[in-house]
């Protein structure tokens, strides 16, 4: 059956004017929200996700306590106005449970849970707007929210969605493209090159998988630079606030000390 939209025209442009490998406009906001220990808002084009992190803190239920590491709890909520279908999804919705499970399994090897035995880290994901690449936005927002909360990570986790139209690879798909193109979501740790997530919801020919997988890993490195800059900017704001404290107090420090603290904080990631 022919596509209802032109995925890639003769000039090499997609339906939203991007080239094959071009990512959508990305924005990161690590401003604190409510009483969360860390939070982040991430937008990939029109897709927007907010993640709040609480903890490490004492587990609410005894059966959830793990004696030698922290337990990670992930809850996903989809706003009913986030997509055109206006469908309300409850907590028991299969799609929401699947998203929560994927996020948990992606971050369990990355969070240094052994530092916080018998505790719990709660990750709350709110999907505000959907226009393709929802899972990648959830993963990237979770990375930044955990960093904002000061939870030690082995590395950033940077996710990108890729697909193949005919023989042409595409990166960072919109909803229209996802509905029409076989696609895969890949999450990579850029410093080590390790992959923490590969998930496909559609069939993708093995001959095409290798190329789109490689491109997604390269795009993850590009995202890493932007995400690291967002963490550095947020850390700079916090350190500057400490430095603005009156001289003679324990919070006061000079500019040199502020730079050292900020560099050490960023190098943790």
**pLDDT at 63 exceeding the cut of 90:** no
Neighbours of 160 (CB within 10 A): 28
pLDDT at position 59, please? 84
User: What is the residue extent of each domain of the chain?
Assistant: 26-267
For 15-41, the pLDDT digits (tens) are 899 999 999 999 999 988 778 999 999
Share of the chain above pLDDT 90, in %: 63
For 96-108, the pLDDT digits (tens) are 889 999 999 999 9
Asked if the 26-267 domain carries CATH number 3.40.50.720, the reply is no
Q: What is the pTM of this model?
A: 0.87
**pLDDT at 45 exceeding the cut of 70:** yes
One-character DSSP codes across 206-255: HHHHHHHHHHHHHHHHHHHHHHHHHHHHHHHHHHHHHHTSPTTSTT---H
| pLDDT band at residue 13 under the 50/70/90 scheme | very high
More confident residue, 72 or 244: 72
Task: Please tell me the distance from the alpha carbon of residue 25 to that of residue 90, in angstroms, as a whole number.
Answer: 30
User: Mean pLDDT of all residues in the chain?
Assistant: 87
Task: Please tell me the distance from the alpha carbon of residue 6 to that of residue 172, in angstroms, as a whole number.
Answer: 16
Query: Which runs of consecutive H residues, i.e. helices, occur in the chain?
Result: 94-107, 134-148, 175-178, 206-243, 255-267
| Spatial CA neighbour of 23 closest among 106, 132, 99 | 132
**pLDDT at 161 exceeding the cut of 90:** yes
**pLDDT at 258 exceeding the cut of 70:** no
- Upstream peptide bond of 56 is cis (omega within 30 degrees of 0): yes
User: Are 177 and 170 within 8 A, CB to CB?
Assistant: yes
| pLDDT band at residue 163 under the 50/70/90 scheme | very high
Share of the chain above pLDDT 70, in %: 86
For 183-225, the pLDDT digits (tens) are 999 999 998 899 999 998 788 888 889 999 999 999 999 999 9
HSE value, Cβ hemisphere, 13 Å, CA-based, for 169: 20
């Amino acid at each position: 059956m022919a596509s209802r939209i032109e995925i890639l025209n003769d000039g090499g442009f997609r339906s939203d004017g991007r080239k094959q490998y071009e990512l959508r406009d990305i924005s990161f906001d690590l401003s604190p929200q409510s009483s969360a220990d860390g939070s982040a808002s991430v937008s990939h084009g029109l897709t927007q996700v907010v993640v709040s992190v609480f903890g490490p803190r004492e587990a609410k239920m005894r059966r959830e306590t793990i004696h030698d590491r922290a337990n990670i709890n992930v809850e996903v909520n989809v706003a009913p106005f986030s997509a055109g279908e206006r469908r309300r999804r409850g907590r028991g919705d299969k799609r929401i449970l699947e998203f929560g499970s994927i996020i948990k399994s992606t971050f369990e090897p990355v969070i240094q849970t052994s530092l916080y035995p018998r505790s719990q880290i709660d990750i709350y994901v709110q999907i505000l707007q959907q226009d393709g690449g929802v899972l990648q936005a959830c993963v990237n927002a979770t990375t930044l929210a955990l960093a904002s909360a000061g939870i030690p990570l082995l590395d950033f986790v940077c996710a990108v969605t890729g697909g193949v139209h005919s023989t042409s690879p595409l990166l960072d798909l919109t909803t229209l493209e996802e509905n029409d193109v076989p696609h895969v979501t890949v999450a990579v740790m850029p410093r080590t090159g390790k992959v923490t997530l590969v998930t496909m919801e559609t069939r993708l020919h093995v001959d095409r998988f290798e190329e789109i997988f490689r491109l997604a890993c390269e795009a993850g490195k590009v995202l890493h630079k932007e995400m690291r800059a967002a963490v550095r900017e947020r850390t700079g704001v916090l350190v500057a606030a400490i430095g603005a404290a009156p001289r003679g107090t324990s919070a006061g420090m000079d500019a040199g000390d502020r730079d050292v603290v900020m560099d050490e904080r960023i190098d943790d990631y």
